[in-house]
Amino acid sequence: MPRATTGVLLLLAACSPQAPPAGPAPAACAAGSEAFLKDQLFFGRGMPGGGEVSDSAFRAFLAREVTPRFPKGITVHDAKGQWQGKSGDIVQERSWVLVLFHPSSPEADQAVSDIAKAYQEEFAQEAVLRERGWSCVAF
Provide the domain limits for residue 84.
34-137
Residue 21 domain-assigned (yes or no)? no
For residue 119, what is the domain's CATH number? 3.30.70.120
Instruction: Using alpha carbons, select from 138, 132, 91, 92 the residue that is nearest to residue 108.
Output: 132
Whether 98 is covered by a domain: the verdict is yes
Residue 72 placed within a domain? yes
Note the pTM of the prediction, 2 decimals. Answer: 0.82
CA–CA gap between residue 51 and residue 25 (Å, rounded):
41
12 domain residue, yes or no = no
**48-61: pLDDT as tens digits:** 888 999 999 999 99
- Give residue 4's pLDDT band: very low, low, confident or very high (50, 70, 90): very low
Task: For residue 44, list its beta bridge partners.
Answer: 95
Number of domains in the chain: 1
